[in-house]
Amino acid sequence: MTKLLKGSVSTTLFKSNKVPKTIGDARECLERFAFKKLDPADVRDESSGWVDAVLCFDSENFSSLMHDRFFVFAMRTDKYSFSASQLRPYLEEAEFVFKKENNLEYIAAQQKKEIKEQVIRKLKSNSYPRTTVVEVAWDMESRNVHFFTQSGAMVANFTDMFEKTFETTLENAYIFDSLKKMGADKVEPVFGKIWSIK
Amino acid sequence: MKNINDIGFLGTEFLLWLYWQSCEEGTISLEDQGLGEVHISIEESITLVSITGDGYSETVKSQEITELKTVRESIKAGRLPDSAKIKLISNELDYQFQIKANPLKISAVKLPLTGEKEEVQVISSRIEAVSKLELIMKAVFDVFLIEREKKSFANDLKKFLDM
């Protein structure tokens, strides 16, 4: 269930340098970078794109986009990944069968690579990718963008995709942003006046 | 502006100040920012990390952190707050979250229940609450910055810690 409805949340805050003029413009931008499902035969192992925040299978209508002054949508990432230990039994079996069928003692490196790719393709067709959905709430008045995770990898992926989608730039916003006005370079710790720091 | 890592001490000082406020009335006026009054208290857990170079750290879990003499003694010994669980009340709305000193950020926010039943209203109200909490915490941090600029800040803190 979307974090927008239930549960505790962790967010990363940004400020965008501009906002879409209309909801239609925002929808068009989102559609251009909408989420596309991964096909097991696809050479890609990962796919990221925008989906509706409530119906995360919907990457066409974005029917829940407008909430008061916020544009609300989500970033969906589907990823196939198999650890070495997951691959090992299937890989060893495929290599064993290949050697037996071709009456070989060793398998050439290039051939090994092809066998591994076949094994991965087979595993992909028999499993679902790992899916992550992270909600986004974009305040049209303050230009603040709330991204509902603090995961470094997700934040990096999001920033890149958001900037491309809306042709804007995102700047991180922090609790201590007012320091900029005060002149942060002048701020010194008070600990030294109280504790002797080694 | 200094790098986020260069002002890490401010995060620790901010948490220490929140502990101090929490031990006293815990009410912080944000009238200047149009946010009324908020009540802040440290609840359930606090992690203290030594700044004196002895590598000591401890996590204290209790419903009455502010009442515990051991926490204050630890702080006197130079073990300062690195993270804590906070309860914040603003306009009768109750937020709970984790705050970390370095880098200074809040996470695992339990948003106030506002009684909406319609899905659309719940979403709007939760987004509004997230947005409001960020505004409040920025304003609280600004109050702290003003307080720490006062000449008496270090002495008042020492007095509070009975040092």
pLDDT tens string B24-46:
988 999 998 889 999 999 998 99
The predicted complex's ipTM stands at 0.86
A and B: number of Cβ contacts within 8 A: 119
Query: Which of A136, A176, A186 would you mutate first to test chain B, the one with the most B CBs within 10 A?
Result: A176
Q: Is the peptide bond before B81 cis (omega within 30 degrees of 0)?
A: no
A-chain residue closest to B14, CA distance: A176
- DSSP secondary structure of B119-147: HHHHHHHHHHHHHHHHHHHHHHHHHHHHH
Say yes or no: A101 and A140 in one domain: no
**Rounded distance, CA A136 to CA A155, Å?**
11
Mutating which of B131, B153, B156 best tests the A interface, going by the most A Cβ atoms within 10 A? B131
Q: Which two tokens stand for residue A79?
A: 């990823």
User: B53 touching A, CB under 8 A?
Assistant: yes
Which of B1, B97, B105 is opposite residue A184, by nearest beta carbon?
B1
Query: B2 in a domain, yes or no?
Result: no
Q: Write the single-letter amino acid at B72.
A: R
Report the chain A residue with the minimal C-alpha distance to residue B100: A175
Question: From the list B109, B124, B154, which residue is nearest A68 (CB)?
Answer: B124
Query: Between these two residues, A80 and B8, which has the higher pLDDT value?
Result: A80
B3 lies in a domain? no
Helix axes B119-149, B8-23, angle to 10 degrees: 100
One-letter amino acid identity for B66? T
Q: Name every chain A residue with its beta carbon within 8 A of the beta carbon of B117.
A: none
Distance, in Å, from the CA atom of B158 to the CA atom of B8, rounded to the nearest integer, reads: 21
Rounded mean pLDDT of A170-174?
92
Helices (H), chain A: 23-32, 84-101, 109-125, 152-166, 179-182, 191-194
Same domain for A18 and A74: yes
- Residue B4 confidence (pLDDT) above 60: no
Using pLDDT thresholds of 50, 70 and 90, give the confidence band for residue B3: low
Q: How confident is the model at residue B88 (pLDDT cuts 50, 70, 90)?
A: very high
Instruction: Encode A37-58: b = buried (16+ Cβ within 10 Å), e = exposed.
Output: ebeeeeeeeebbbbbbbbebeb
- pLDDT higher than 70, residue A181: yes
| Range B99-105 average pLDDT | 92
Q: Which residues of A touch B82 (CB under 8 A)?
A: none
User: In this structure, are A58 and A30 located in the same domain?
Assistant: yes
Q: Are residues A50 and A89 in the same domain?
A: no
Residue B7 contacts A where some CB pair is shorter than 8 Å:
yes
As a whole number, the mean pLDDT across chain B is 90
On whether both A164 and A88 belong to a single domain, the answer is no
Inside any domain, residue A3 = no
Decide if A5 is inside a domain. no
Regarding whether A95 and A71 lie in a shared domain, the answer is no
- Nearest-CA residue of chain B relative to A64? B120
3-state secondary structure of B159: helix
In angstroms, the CA A88 to CA A43 distance is: 21
* Angle of helix A84-101 versus helix A109-125 axis, rounded to 10: 120
Residue B104 CA to residue A149 CA, distance in Å, equals 15
- Closest chain B residue by Cα to residue A179: B1
Distance, in angstroms, between B157 CA and closest chain A CA?
9
pLDDT confidence bin for A7, thresholds 50/70/90: confident
Tell me whether residue A64 is in a domain.
yes
pLDDT at residue number A197: 55
State whether residue A83 sits within 8 Å of chain B by CB: no
Contact between residue B51 and residue B11 where contact means Cβ atoms under 8 Å apart: no
Contacts of B127 in chain A (CB under 8 A): 4, 67-68, 70, 72, 137, 146
- Does pLDDT of A80 surpass 70? yes
Indicate the residue type of A1.
M
Report the domain count for chain B: 1
Whether A90 and A177 map to the same domain: the answer is no
Q: Is the pLDDT of residue A191 over 60?
A: yes
* Cβ separation B122–A5 shorter than 8 A: yes
Cα A101 to Cα A176: distance, rounded to the nearest angstrom: 67
Of B2, B107, B110, the CB nearest to A184: B2
Per-residue model confidence (pLDDT) at position B135? 93
On chain A, the residues whose CB falls within 8 A of the CB of B128 are 68
Q: Is the domain of A132 the same as that of A72?
A: yes
| A94, A154: one domain | no
Contact partners, residue B72, CB within 8 Å, separation at least 6: B23, B161, B162
Question: Taking the model in full, what pTM does it have?
Answer: 0.87
Tokens of B24: 């006293």
User: Using N-to-C axis directions, what is the helix angle for B153-161 and B69-76, rounded to 10°?
Assistant: 130
Task: Note down the domain range covering A36.
Answer: 12-79+128-194
Q: What is the pLDDT of residue B2?
A: 52
Q: Kindly report, residue by residue over A138-158, the tens digit of the pLDDT.
A: 999 999 999 999 999 999 999
Question: Domain range for residue B100?
Answer: 8-161
Is residue B93 situated within a structural domain? yes
Tokens of residue B133, six digits: 């909490």
The rounded distance, in Å, linking the Cα atoms of B129 and B125 is: 6
Beta bridge partners of residue A131, listed in sequence order: A78
Chain A residues near residue B141 by CB distance under 8 angstroms:
175-176, 178
> Pairing between strand B79-90 and B93-100?
antiparallel
B56: pLDDT confidence band, cut at 50, 70 and 90? confident
Touching check for B116 and chain A: CB below 8 Å? no
Per residue in B106-155, pLDDT (tens digit) is 999 999 887 888 888 888 899 999 999 999 999 999 999 999 888 899 88
- Note whether A90 and A140 are same-domain residues: no
CB A26 within 8 A of CB A71: yes
Q: Is residue A1 part of a domain?
A: no
Query: For A19-65, what is each residue's pLDDT tens digit?
Result: 999 999 999 999 999 999 988 778 888 999 999 998 888 888 888 88
Interacting residues of A26 by C-beta distance below 8 A, sequence separation 6+:
A20, A65, A71, A166
In a domain, A6, yes or no: no
Q: Which of B122, B134, B141 is closest, CB to CB, to A176?
A: B141
How many independent structural domains does chain A possess? 2
Pairing of β B37-50 and β B79-90: antiparallel
Rg (CA), chain A: 24
Q: Are residues A141 and A168 in the same domain?
A: yes
